[in-house]
Amino acid sequence: MSINQTIYIPLFAVSVIFFCYSCYQRLQLISLGADENRSDRPIERLAGMFSYAFGQKRVVKRPFGINHFVLFWAFMFLLLANGEFLIEGLFPSVSLALLPDPLHHVLAFIFDMVSLLALVAVVVALSRRLLFPPSYLSNEYTSARSGEGLLILAMIAFLMIAFFLLHGALIGLGDSAAYRPISAIFASLLAGQSTAALQSSATIAWWVHAVVLLVFINLLPRSKHMHILTAIPNTYLRSLDKPNIIPRESFAKGKRFGVGVVEQFSWKDLLDSLTCTECGRCQDLCPAYNTDKPLNPRRIVHDIKANLLQNGPALKNGEGKTLPMIDLAQNEGTCSEEALWACTTCGACVNVCPVLIEQMPKIVKMRRHLVQEKSEFPEELLNLFENMEQRSNPWGIAPSDRGKWSTQLGERPFEADKTEYLFFVGCAGAFDTRAKQVSVAVATIMDLAGVSWGMLGKEELCCGDSLRRLGNEYVFDKMAKQNVEMFIEKGVRKVVTACPHCFSTLKNDYRQYGLELQVIHHSELIETLITGNKLKLPKTTDMGKLLFHDSCYLGRHNEIYDTPRNLIKAATGSKPAEFERNRENGFCCGAGGGRMWMEELNGSRINQNRVAEALKQKPDTLCVSCPYCMTMMEDGLKELNAPGVQVKDVAEVVAEALRL
């Protein structure tokens, strides 16, 4: 078999040039984005890249991901085989056959087997798409590109079949069959053909393989299969911070705030948008999407890409944009305001994405624009913003009432030299009737265990969590600075909080203000007290069937899953029952991201969705670890008319076991 190089060389050259040009165009689009440093801590980045990209850590968390794992590694091996194939076309004398025999034979065997695996994986993937697609795979806006998915799979199948046919024919022409068992089967299919027929079979197979391969390569940068090129770098360039930590903004005149046009996203956001292959896992877990809100995290990422592709060329030339990034209505390339306000910042999307796309931070960035540059937000937030700014709590209750919940505990001021822990009670713990009971439980437990603790009382300020998630970074910034200054002034080092939102904000967000505190959630403190024998539970308490609901800000955002479960085990004698969706797949109560203070006007209610899931298990007690979850679960139980179920904070469960 000989290849007509006068046809192949120009074809190859044009393909390579066009591929490079496409990649260059995409890179130029990405470079329109704002600066962001993603090159720090290279060792950690490399380690993550190996486990997320090469180890396919998140991909294989779902059973079907194993199929992708096979395809990924088949691609890795066949990169070498196809490289050889393309080069051999240019220089027929250059091939892996130049390698010493044993090595060459091993490679030939591997390529043959791996190609079979790839072919099987493609057939499985095609069947899944066509015969048993999961609910989240496609929806009305991805259907425009579902043909793309089929085409790519079909091309891979063609490549594999052409590979086997080529080598089958070559075996018929005298190549050794020993190291190519699958090709040998194809050779037996061709057996009996004349040499000339085998020659032309080989030539045809070679050309089919070559053309499909070159077209395939050129499709990548121009389709959602760009992830084949960008997923690996995307995992290297991932955010090393907690999922909801977005860079601070500097408030100086003439600056722009948040993201209102596509080039205000960071280059990494834009790379994310080109990396998304629309697998739909984020959509599958999103509490807003699952309750028929107009938000779909996958769609947000797609709209950023569509906007970039449409506006990018004009932006590169310094011309204005034509397609708005945010508008009242949702169109391809434009996110609707309603969708942006539907996010609970639960972090499920960020946590599940196999290629570490950061969906939720993009939503918050756009909220920053709406609040700070346009003053456009759901009207119920006006009160929240004013209350926060004027009275430093979401309800607008007089700050002087902050200490009232603890009058029976006596004066418990925090003093740097005398008290070990600052008990940061939080707005809910200080003002919300139900959450106040949890504060009392936490305080009582700490006293029983002899913990040295104090509070800021009237001086305590709101941590600003809701403001930051809602995009009111300007006011959050002021509140954070005030708090940080006060903590430093008072010599605070160790903080215990009864609210995962205060916990996460003090622990992670305030780090951006140079404050390194040792912050623990009350469940962590109690666990340490029990394991350190400072707190002895005299008996176990029977709370019936107890179901534990994960708080997003404790669980996904801070990876504390076992601690509250261990406490429940210690207090009740048995592990809690689990929701169907638990731990990292836990379903939000609906109150995060400032949604606590907003009306839920679209679709069904998130808290009812969660409570309905709980009621399927007929629990007696719903155990939570967050005051927001407490409110949402109690409301949901009332709304679904399930009066027999009680909601308890994990501290109350422990307190129950301590009651003599």
Partner 1 sequence: MLVISCIKQVPDTTQVQIDPETNTLIREGIPFIVNPYDTHALEEGLSLKDRFGLRPVALSMGPPNAEATLRKACALGVDDAILLSDRCFGGADTLATSRVLASAIEKLAEQEELGIVFCGKQTIDGDTAQVGPGIASRLGLQQLTLVDRIVHLDLEKKRIRVRRKLEGRHEIVEAPLPVMITVVRELNRPRYPTVPMRLEAEDVMVKTWDNSVLGLDVETVGLKGSPTWVSKIFSPERDQGEIIGDGINDPEGTANLLIEKLLSKDLLAI
**Which residues contribute to the site for partner 1 (CB under 8 A)?**
251-253, 257, 371-375, 377, 379, 382, 385, 390-391, 396-400, 433-434, 437, 474
- Closest separation in Å from C-beta 158 to partner 1: 55
Shortest distance, position 328 Cβ to partner 1, whole Å: 18
Between the alpha carbon of residue 521 and those of residues 421, 487, 546, the distances in Å are 12, 17, 21
Cβ nearer to partner 1, comparing 87 with 261: 261
Task: Specify the residue, 73 or 395, whose C-beta has the smaller distance to partner 1.
Answer: 395
Least distance to partner 1 from the beta carbon of 253, Å? 5
Residue with smaller CB distance to partner 1, 153 or 461: 461
Which residue lies nearer to partner 1 by CB, 21 or 251? 251
How far apart, in whole angstroms, are the C-alpha atoms of residue 360 and residue 297? 7
CB of 484 to partner 1, least distance (A): 20
Distance CA 135, CA 546 (A): 31
Which residues does 475 contact at the CB level (< 8 Å), separation at least 6? 385, 388, 389, 464, 467
Beta carbon of residue 391, minimum distance to partner 1 (angstroms, whole number): 7
- Helix locations, 220-275, DSSP H: 227-236, 267-275
Task: Identify whether the C-beta of residue 464 lies closer than 8 Å to the C-beta of residue 480.
Answer: yes
Tokens 């020659």 — which residue? 199
Q: State both tokens at 101.
A: 């025999």
In the bound complex, what is the minimum distance in angstroms from residue 372's beta carbon to partner 1?
Answer: 4
3-state DSSP assignment of residue 575: coil
Query: What is the nearest approach in angstroms of partner 1 to the Cβ of residue 655?
Result: 15
Q: Using an 8 Å Cβ cutoff, are 467 and 485 in contact? A: no
- Kindly tell me which of 306 and 384 has the beta carbon lying closer to partner 1: 384
The CA distance from 455 to 432, in Å, is 17
Q: Which amino acid, 295?
A: L
CB of 389 to partner 1, least distance (A): 9
Write the CB contacts of 160 (distance below 8 Å, at least 6 apart in sequence): 115, 116, 118, 119, 122
Least distance from partner 1 to the Cβ atom of residue 400, Å = 6
Hey, is 591 helix, strand or coil? coil
- Classified as helix, coil or strand, 131 is helix
Q: To the nearest whole angstrom, how small is the minimum distance from the Cβ of residue 10 to partner 1? A: 56
Q: Which is nearer to partner 1, 462 or 515 (CB)?
A: 462
- As a whole number of angstroms, the distance between CA 281 and CA 286 comes to 9
Q: How many CA atoms lie within 13 A of 624 on its CB side?
A: 29
Rank residues 186 and 377 by Cβ distance to partner 1 and give the closer one: 377
> Closest CB to partner 1 among 112 and 634?
634
Cβ-based nearer residue to partner 1, 358 or 634: 634
- 271/305 Cα distance (integer angstroms): 9
Token pair 């609040």: residue: 371
Residue (327 or 376) nearer to partner 1, CB = 376
Q: Of 165 and 475, which has the nearer Cβ to partner 1?
A: 475
Min CB(384)–partner 1 separation in Å:
11
Under 8 Å between Cβ of 454 and 353: no
Distance, in Å, from the CA atom of 336 to the CA atom of 356, rounded to the nearest integer, reads 24
Sheet strands side by side (includes 518-521): 453-454, 421-424, 494-497, 518-521
CB of 347 to partner 1, least distance (A): 26
For the CA atoms of 321, 327, 333, 335, what is the dihedral angle to 10 degrees? 140
The CA–CA distances, whole Å, from 142 to 53, 146, 229, 298, 522 equal 24, 6, 21, 10, 44
Q: Which is nearer to partner 1, 150 or 398 (CB)?
A: 398
